[in-house]
């Protein structure tokens, strides 16, 4: 209900006001109207009164005028006339005034008439007075009568006029009276309604106000309750806010502190990443400031120990008596302080709030700290990710105990990690620097450092005439077999021990460096005479010759040493090393375990070897090689039994290069491997071609170098090439030199056995030049021995050679080996060899090595001549010609 009232209160009030004021509206309008009328009536009454007054005056004036005129006429009295005239004038004026108040056409007309009559009367009177005639008198009378008529008419008109006006006035009055009556009743009704309305309004207002009051009270109570609860909530919120502000302040402080710490951390890390070495005093000062301590220091241990080696501290001023410091720490082994040591070792922070309160087990530490005036201390190990403790950081309060906040400890942990990284990095860099200049295995200077020192020596040699140097290039002779047979670890151990021996063989100012593998170089400083150098070399050789005891075994090694002496013409260290290397190589080729002094000739040879190597590579790519075939003939029948394939290099712009000029270089550089393979493939293809051409099968011997035997899978390659050419293995003979076979006997036996198993024949070339005995060769699955040309050369003149050849042939035959005599150049040699029982002959006597087509032509020609000789012999009844040559 209240809600309803509240909602419609305004509408209700408007309705009540309408009820009250609707009836009131009419009287009000009426009142407004009558009030106009009343004023009008009052004006009318006033005007009526004025008018009445004037009318009375006019009537009096008219009466007096009439009387005066009558008197003047009657008595002919001038004075009466004048007075009448004046009266007439006054009357006229009055009439005029009256008409002004109440205009009336009739009156106006009458006034004019009266005025005219009065003037006429005056005129007549004047005439009468001057000459009284009858006519005049009659005229005056007439006129007078007219005047009287006019006055009467005037009077009448005036009377009507007056009546009219009075009636009108009365009507108006009645009208006004009726209006007044109505007005009064309206006023009364209005008053009553007003009162009722007001009462109703009052009542309603009262009702509303009561309700409103009730509602207000309720609202009030509710508001009070609300206020109360809000107050409580506000209070609580206030409290919460207060707490929050406090917390926020605390957090803000924490954040600021953390930011400060992070900033410090950033600065500290920045200091540690500077390209230049950091100033640890500034670093510590920075940390001491954030930790609010008076002293800070970083302690570093000696490598792989806990002996305090280095201390960085802040402040840097020398520690005065009574001041805390690190003086007592230097040189201390932390292991003598087990309690402290244990914490550092296990990478734990050590936060001592009060040194005096340290446990009994830390008695020693307490004594140390107290001696160094340390009251409180925070120590963090500098521990690398590789679990190595490099040292520790310390923050010290020298005056009073204090607590250490965990946030600070955490930050310092990060700092200690940064430090550990920095020191580890520095260590790694040092190691890198060391590695860049030193050999990892032997810790000797490496090529770079050696070159550096050698450059200095070259410069010094140029500047000081009395100064010279010498470089030795040393290469172990059988190091590979040590590695292969005893393993790399023993090999490494040998190199380490050798390094020590080399260092012991030279003066402290000299440099022993390892170039690679088993190659060492030695720079002998301030050495002028070559004899002196040789004495040093001999000393080195003596040292090396002594057996090495490795893995319980006695190992003997030797070295080939190249010597070069410094001179002012050397422009680079490389050139010096190169010459020493050439000399060393010369020593190797001279039979190893010796030294060789470099000379210019060696250099030229080396240069040409390099050129050849370069060209050989190109020759392989450009297919510049060709096989020539030197026939091998049966000593008994003279038939071509086979051929030796000999490589030729058709060098563009040069012509044919002999294998003697490039095969040794190819062997040195390893190019012999692809070249040898090429020769084997080419030989297989030629034989296949000949067979395809319908020729008789011929066995072709292909030269294989020692390197091929050692490094290549010769049987595998041969099998593949034979398969490629679809060739019977028995048509290929592998020719190996005696020295190649004797180099690595076990390996050679295994390879040759495999070749033999494949049905590939094996021949030993240049037999007799080496030291192998036939009995030794029994171990190899050999088919043929080729007697070296040097023996054949002297066979006719030299009895020894003849004897040797004879015994070789006899023994070979006893071992079931066939014999080929190489380099047979004349018939005598041939005859003798045939007498000695040689099986096959190769040499210029029959033919030089020939290109394939010419070789075939030779084979054909030989067969033809043999046939012809055979025919002739048959005809002559003798032996066939082939049996003799
Ligand atoms: N003065 C004289 N010399 C004669 C006579 N009969 C043959 N010769 C030469 O003696 C050499 C025989 O070849 P070698 O002893 O295997 O000696 C060969 C061989 O060791 C090597 N060689 C040739 N071709 C190859 C090859 O394909 N591979 C390998 N690894 N070495 C090859 O080159 C060496 C030289 O070959 P070449 O210059 O062709 O020289 C050939 C040949 O021309 C003669 O009656 N008098």
User: CB within 8 A of 38, min separation 6: which ones?
Assistant: 176, 179, 180
Q: Tell how far the Cα of 822 is from the centroid of ligand 1, in angstroms.
A: 9
The H-or-E segment that residue 297 falls in is strand 295-301
CA 779–ligand 1 middle distance (angstroms): 26
> Ligand 1: which atom is nearest the Cα of residue 659?
33
* CA nearest ligand 1 atom 36, residue: 659
Instruction: Report the relative pairing of strands 389-397 and 295-301 from DSSP bridges.
Output: antiparallel
User: Could you write out the DSSP letters of every residue in 420-443?
Assistant: HHHHHHHHHHHHHHHHHHB-TTT-
Q: How far apart are CA 95 and CA 111, in angstroms?
A: 7
Instruction: Tally Cβ neighbours within 10 Å of residue 594.
Output: 16
Structural contact between residues 129 and 78, judged by C-beta atoms closer than 8 angstroms = yes
Mutating to test ligand 1, I would choose from 646, 674, 792, 858 the residue with most ligand atoms within 8 A of its C-beta, which is 646
Q: Which atom of ligand 1 is nearest to the CA of 647?
A: 24
**What does the domain layout of the chain look like in residue ranges?**
26-187, 275-435, 438-598, 613-883
Alpha-carbon distance 378 to 344, whole Å? 12
The model carries a pTM of: 0.46
Minimum CA distance residue for ligand 1 atom 42: 849
User: How many angstroms separate the CA atoms of 112 and 830, rounded?
Assistant: 207
Given the structure tokens 């006054």, which residue do they identify?
Answer: 90
Cα of 560 vs its chain's centroid, Å = 54
pLDDT at 434: 87
**Confidence (pLDDT) at 186:** 63
Question: Which ligand 1 atom lies nearest to the CA of residue 845?
Answer: 45
Sequence-distant (6+) residues with CB within 8 A of 727 are 684, 687, 688, 691
Q: Is 98 exposed, middle or buried (0-12, 13-18, 19+ CB in 10 A)?
A: buried
Distance of alpha carbon 827 from the chain centroid: 86
Q: For residues 253 and 257, what is the distance between their CA atoms, to the nearest angstrom?
A: 6
Q: Which three-class secondary structure string do you get for 820-878? A: EECCCCCHHHHHHHHHHCCCEECCCCCCCCEEHHHHHHHHHHHHHHHHHHHHHHHHHCC
Per the structure block, which two tokens stand in for 65?
């005028």
Give the H or E element holding residue 764. strand 761-767
Say how many Å lie between the CA of residue 763 and the centre of ligand 1.
Answer: 14
**Residue 858: what pLDDT?**
96
Cα–Cα distance between 95 and 333 in angstroms, integer? 155
Residue 865 tokens read as 């001549």
Query: For 92-127, how does the pLDDT look when each residue is reduced to its tens digit (9 = 90+)?
Result: 787 787 777 777 777 777 777 777 777 777 777 777
Span from the CA of 681 to the centroid of ligand 1 (angstroms): 18
Alpha carbon distance 31, 28 (integer Å): 5
How high is the pLDDT of residue 673?
93
Tell me, what DSSP letter sits at residue 647? Answer: E
Rounded to the nearest angstrom, the distance between the alpha carbon of 577 and the centre of ligand 1 is 35
Q: 494 Cβ partners below 8 Å, 6+ apart? A: 479, 482, 548, 550, 555, 557
Give the list of residues 6+ apart from residue 388 with CB closer than 8 angstroms, or none: 424
- 275-435 CATH pick, 3.40.50.20, 3.30.450.40, 1.10.1040.10, 3.40.640.10: 3.30.450.40
Q: How far is the CA of 662 from the centre of ligand 1 (A)?
A: 12
H/E stretch holding 244: helix 134-272
Residue ranges lining ligand 1, Cβ < 6 Å: 630, 646-647, 658-660, 663, 676, 679, 703-705, 765-766, 789, 822-825, 842-844, 849
Spatial contact of 561 and 587, defined as CB atoms under 8 Å apart: yes
Greatest Cα-to-Cα distance within the chain, rounded to the nearest angstrom: 245
State the Cα–Cα distance between residues 733 and 758, nearest whole angstrom. Answer: 11
- Ligand 1, atom 4, lies closest to the CA of 823
Question: What is the four-CA torsion angle of 797, 801, 802, 803, rounded to 10 degrees?
Answer: 140
Angle of helix 2-75 relative to helix 105-130, nearest 10 degrees, comes to: 20
Q: What angle do CA 334, 335, 338 make, to 5 degrees?
A: 100
Strand-pairing partners, residue 640, are: 633
User: What topology does CATH give the domain 26-187?
Assistant: 1.20.120
The dihedral formed by the CA atoms of 7, 12, 13 and 14, expressed in degrees to the nearest 10: 110
Q: Whose CA is nearest to atom 29 of ligand 1?
A: 703
Answer for the pair 633, 827: CB distance below 8 angstroms, yes or no: no
Kindly write down the DSSP assignment for every residue of 379-404, as one continuous string.
Answer: EEEEE-TTS-EEEEEEEEESSS----
Q: What's the gap in Å between 209 CA and the centre of ligand 1?
A: 144
CB-CB contact of 723 with 749 (8 Å): no
Q: Given the structure tokens 């009378």, which residue do they identify? A: 141
CB atoms within 10 A of CB 648: 17
CB atoms within 10 A of CB 839: 21
Note whether ipTM > 0.90 here: yes
User: 3-class SS at 502?
Assistant: helix
**Cα 325 from Cα 398, distance rounded (Å):** 9
CA of 646 to the centre of ligand 1 (A): 6
Among the CATH numbers 3.20.20.450, 3.40.50.720, 3.90.1010.10, 3.30.1490.100, which is that of 613-883?
Answer: 3.20.20.450
Instruction: Look at ligand 1, atom 39, and give the residue with the nearest C-alpha.
Output: 646
Please identify, by atom number, the ligand 1 atom nearest to the C-alpha of residue 648.
24
- Residue 671 CA, ligand 1 centroid: distance in Å: 18
CA of 771 to the centre of ligand 1 (A): 21
3-state DSSP assignment of residue 765: strand
- Distance, CA of 669 to chain centre: 47
Measured by CA distance, the residue closest to atom 5 of ligand 1 is 823
| DSSP conformation class of 355 | G
Q: Which value, to the nearest 10 degrees, does the dihedral of the CA atoms of residues 159, 165, 171, 177 take?
A: -110
Helices (H), 523-572: 530-545
Contact 159, 59 (CB under 8 A): no
How does pLDDT run across 68-97, given as a tens digit for each residue?
777 777 777 778 878 877 877 887 787 787
Domain at 438-598, CATH from 3.30.70.270, 3.40.50.1370, 3.40.50.150, 2.102.10.10:
3.30.70.270
Residues in the chain with pLDDT < 70? 1-12, 15-41, 45, 128-129, 131-134, 136, 140, 151, 169, 173, 176-177, 179-180, 183-187, 189-190, 194, 316-329, 770-776, 877-885
CA angle 850, 756, 819 (to 5 degrees): 50
Residue nearest atom 46 in ligand 1 by C-alpha distance: 823
| C-alpha of residue 658 to centroid of ligand 1, in Å | 9
- Please tell me the residue having the least CA distance from ligand 1 atom 20: 703
Atom 43 of ligand 1, nearest CA residue: 849
Number of the ligand 1 atom closest to the C-alpha atom of 702:
27
CA of 745 to the centre of ligand 1 (A): 24
Q: Ligand 1: which of 625, 628, 680, 703 to mutate, most ligand atoms within 8 Å of CB?
A: 703
Q: What is d(CA 657, CA 625) in angstroms, rounded to the nearest whole number?
A: 10
pLDDT at 15: 66
Ligand 1: atom nearest CA of 676 is: 28
The atom of ligand 1 lying closest to the CA of 705 is 30
Residue 658 alpha carbon, nearest atom of ligand 1: 38
Question: Cα of 801 to ligand 1 centre, how many Å?
Answer: 21
What values do phi and psi take at 803, rounded to 5? -65, -40
Looking at ligand 1, which residue's alpha carbon is closest to its atom 27? 647
Find the DSSP H helices in 758-851: 774-777, 789-793, 799-814, 827-836
Ligand 1 centroid to Cα of residue 489, in Å, is: 42
């Amino acid at each position: 209900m209240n809600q309803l009232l509240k909602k419609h209160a305004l509408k209700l009030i408007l309705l009540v006001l309408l009820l009250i004021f609707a009836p009131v509206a009419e009287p009000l309008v009426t009142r407004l109207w009558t009030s106009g009328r009343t004023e009008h009536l009052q004006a009318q009454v006033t005007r009526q009164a004025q008018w009445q007054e004037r009318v009375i005056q006019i009537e009096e004036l008219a009466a007096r005028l009439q009387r005066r005129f009558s008197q003047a006429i009657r008595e002919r009295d001038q004075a009466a006339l004048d007075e009448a005239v004046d009266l007439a004038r006054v009357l006229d004026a009055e009439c005029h005034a009256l008409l002004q108040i109440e205009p009336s056409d009739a009156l106006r007309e009458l006034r004019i008439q009266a005025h005219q009559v009065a003037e006429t009367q005056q005129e007549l009177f004047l005439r009468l007075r001057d000459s009284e005639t009858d006519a005049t008198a009659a005229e005056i009378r007439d006129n007078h009568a007219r005047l009287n008529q006019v006055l009467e008419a005037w009077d009448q008109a005036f009377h009507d006029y007056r009546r009219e006006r009075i009636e009108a006035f009365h009507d108006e009055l009645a009208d006004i009276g009726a209006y007044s009556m109505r007005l009064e009743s309206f006023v009364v009704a209005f008053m009553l309604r007003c009162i009722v309305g007001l009462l109703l309004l009052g009542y309603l207002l009262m009702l509303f106000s009561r309700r409103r009051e009730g509602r207000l009270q309720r609202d009030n109570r509710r508001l009070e309750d609300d206020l109360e609860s809000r107050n409580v909530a506000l209070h609580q919120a206030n409290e919460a806010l207060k707490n929050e502000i406090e917390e926020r302040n605390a957090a803000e402080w924490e954040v600021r502190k953390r930011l400060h710490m992070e900033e410090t951390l950033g600065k500290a890390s920045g200091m540690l990443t500077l390209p230049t070495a950091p100033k640890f005093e500034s670093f510590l000062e920075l940390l001491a400031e954030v930790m609010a301590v008076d002293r800070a220091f970083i302690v570093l241990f000696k490598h792989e120990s806990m002996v305090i080696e280095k201390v960085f501290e802040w402040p840097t001023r020398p520690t005065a008596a009574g001041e805390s410091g690190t003086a007592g720490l230097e040189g201390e082994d932390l292991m003598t302080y087990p309690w402290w040591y244990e914490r550092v070792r296990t990478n734990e922070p050590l936060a001592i709030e009060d040194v005096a309160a340290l446990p009994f087990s830390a008695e020693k530490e307490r004594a140390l700290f107290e001696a160094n005036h340390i009251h409180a201390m925070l120590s963090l190990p500098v521990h690398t990710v590789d679990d190595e403790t490099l040292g520790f950081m310390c923050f010290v309060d020298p005056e009073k105990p204090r607590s250490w906040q965990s946030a600070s400890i955490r930050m310092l942990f990060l700092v200690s990690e940064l430090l550990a990284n920095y020191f580890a990095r520095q260590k790694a860099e040092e190691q890198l620097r060391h590695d860049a200049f030193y050999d990892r295995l032997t810790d000797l200077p490496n090529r770079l450092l050696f070159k550096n020192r050698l450059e200095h020596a070259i410069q010094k040699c140029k500047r000081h005439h009395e100064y010279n140097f010498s470089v030795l290039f040393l290469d172990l002779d059988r190091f590979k077999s040590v590695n292969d047979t005893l393993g790399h670890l023993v090999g490494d151990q040998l190199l380490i021990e050798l390094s020590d021996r080399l260092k012991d063989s030279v003066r402290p100012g000299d440099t022993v460096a390892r170039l690679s593998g088993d190659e060492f170089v030695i720079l002998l400083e301030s050495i002028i005479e070559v004899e002196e150098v040789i004495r040093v070399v001999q000393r080195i050789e003596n040292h090396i010759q002594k057996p090495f005891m490795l893995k319980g075994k006695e190992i003997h090694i030797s070295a080939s040493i190249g010597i070069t002496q410094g001179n002012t013409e050397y422009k680079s260290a490389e050139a010096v090393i190169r010459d020493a290397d050439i000399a060393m190589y010369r020593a190797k080729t001279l039979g190893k375990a010796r030294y060789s002094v470099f000379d210019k000739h060696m250099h030229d040879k080396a240069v040409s070897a390099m050129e050849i190597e370069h060209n050989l590579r190109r020759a392989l790519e450009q297919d510049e090689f060709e096989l020539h075939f030197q026939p091998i003939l049966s000593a008994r029948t003279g038939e071509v039994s086979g051929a030796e394939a000999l490589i030729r290099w058709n060098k563009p712009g040069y012509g044919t290069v002999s294998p003697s000029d490039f095969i040794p270089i190819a062997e040195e550089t390893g190019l012999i491997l692809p070249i040898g393979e090429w020769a084997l493939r080419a030989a297989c293809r030629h034989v296949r071609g000949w067979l395809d051409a319908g020729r008789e099968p011929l066995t072709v011997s292909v030269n294989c170098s020692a390197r091929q035997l050692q490094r290549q899978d010769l049987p595998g390659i041969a099998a593949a090439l034979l398969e490629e050419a679809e060739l019977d293995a028995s048509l290929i003979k592998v020719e190996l030199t005696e020295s190649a076979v004797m180099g690595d006997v076990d390996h050679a036996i295994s390879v040759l056995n495999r070749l033999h198993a494949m049905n590939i024949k094996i021949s030993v070339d240049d037999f007799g030049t080496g030291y192998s005995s036939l009995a030794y060769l029994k171990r190899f699955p050999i088919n043929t021995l080729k007697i070296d040309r040097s023996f054949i050369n002297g066979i006719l003149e030299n009895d020894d050679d003849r004897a040797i050849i004879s015994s070789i042939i006899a023994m070979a035959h006893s071992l079931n080996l066939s014999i080929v005599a190489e380099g047979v150049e004349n018939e005598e040699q041939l005859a003798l060899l045939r007498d000695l029982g040689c099986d096959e002959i190769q040499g210029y006597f029959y033919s030089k090595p020939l290109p394939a087509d010419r070789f075939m032509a030779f084979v054909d020609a030989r067969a033809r001549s043999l046939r012809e000789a055979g025919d002739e012999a048959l005809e002559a009844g003798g032996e066939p010609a082939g049996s003799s040559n």
